[in-house]
């Protein structure tokens, strides 16, 4: 597929493993991890609509699960929230009588990463910015950053206490480097039994950067590892992100609540 498919709306998917997706990943014989290859029905786009993904080689291709297979390539990836988000977004727009035919997703999430690893100047940050810029070369508009990260910073008090400041700096840097000062940011608040989970959640709720919209994964079922969201939970997160974008972000950006 050519590298300029005229994506109308482009979304960055970034963060750590629950963004890259572990839904449907199972462990065989207590050691071998595989994806069960079951894709939720909600991930299918409406008729006449197309969802693309930017590959590791910076080529547009038809989006399919697992979205992050060649990005978070050291891990076994499964279902994340990104494809369900895109398909749900398209359906919601159609219900409102609007038309967006092609969405471009830019997978960037890497499992097990701390916010420190996403600081400007670091490999992950620069890779994300470069991928986003490459996605925009063929046209289209960058619509939002979808961000799901924080579990790796919920393991120590020191990391948790510094999280809000680092996250605010990260969001500000992303907007500056992408020349998108009002870029909407859709953040998923973490869940789990991490030692400082509540502190990270509080930081996520207290972000002082405008234009950050929260959805919440709290209490959603986890895989047996007690870390990663199940396929069903990822479907709920993806749907919630789409509803948040259509009902809240578009309401503000178009000034028609």
Residues labelled as active-site residues: 17, 225, 228
Spatial CB neighbours of 16, under 8 Å, sequence gap ≥ 6? 109, 110, 111, 112, 113, 148, 149, 150, 151, 152
Rounded CA-CA distance 205/145 in Å is 17
Rounded CA-CA distance 85/184 in Å is 15
**Which residue in this structure is represented by tokens 């499992």?**
111
Strands 9-15 and 102-107: parallel
Judge residue 121's burial from the number of C-beta atoms within 10 Å of its C-beta, 0-12 exposed, 13-18 middle, 19 or more buried. exposed
Let me know: does 147 contact 137? Beta carbons within 8 Å. Answer: no
| Residue 132 structure tokens | 């986003």
Rounded CA-CA distance 250/213 in Å is 12
Q: Which residue from 76, 75, 72 is spatially nearest to 36, judged by alpha carbons?
A: 76
- From residue 186, give the alpha-carbon distance in Å to each of 146, 217, 221: 5, 13, 21
Taking each helix axis from N to C terminus, what angle separates 157-177 and 123-136, rounded to the nearest 10 degrees? 30
């Amino acid at each position: 597929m050519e590298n300029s498919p005229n994506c109308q709306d482009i979304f960055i998917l970034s963060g750590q493993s629950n963004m890259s997706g572990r839904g449907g990943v199972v462990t065989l014989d207590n050691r071998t991890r595989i994806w069960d290859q079951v894709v939720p029905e909600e991930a299918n786009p409406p008729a006449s609509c197309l969802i693309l993904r930017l590959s590791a080689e910076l080529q547009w291709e038809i989006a399919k699960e697992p979205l992050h297979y060649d990005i978070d390539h050291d891990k076994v990836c499964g279902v994340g929230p990104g494809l369900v988000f895109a398909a749900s977004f398209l359906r919601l727009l159609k219900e409102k009588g609007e038309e967006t035919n092609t969405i471009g997703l830019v997978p960037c999430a890497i499992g097990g990463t701390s916010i420190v690893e996403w600081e400007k100047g670091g490999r992950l940050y620069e890779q994300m910015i470069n991928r986003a810029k490459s996605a925009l070369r063929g046209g289209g508009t960058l619509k939002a950053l979808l961000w799901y990260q924080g579990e790796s910073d919920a393991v120590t008090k020191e990391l948790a206490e510094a999280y809000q400041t680092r996250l605010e700096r990260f969001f500000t840097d992303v907007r500056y480097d992408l020349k998108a000062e009002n870029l909407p940011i859709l953040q998923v608040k973490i869940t789990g039994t991490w030692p400082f989970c509540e502190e990270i959640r509080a930081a996520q709720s207290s972000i002082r950067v405008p234009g950050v919209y929260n959805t919440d994964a709290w209490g959603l079922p986890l895989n047996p590892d007690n870390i990663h969201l199940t396929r069903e939970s990822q479907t709920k997160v993806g749907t919630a992100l789409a509803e948040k974008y259509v009902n809240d972000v578009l309401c503000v950006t178009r000034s028609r609540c």
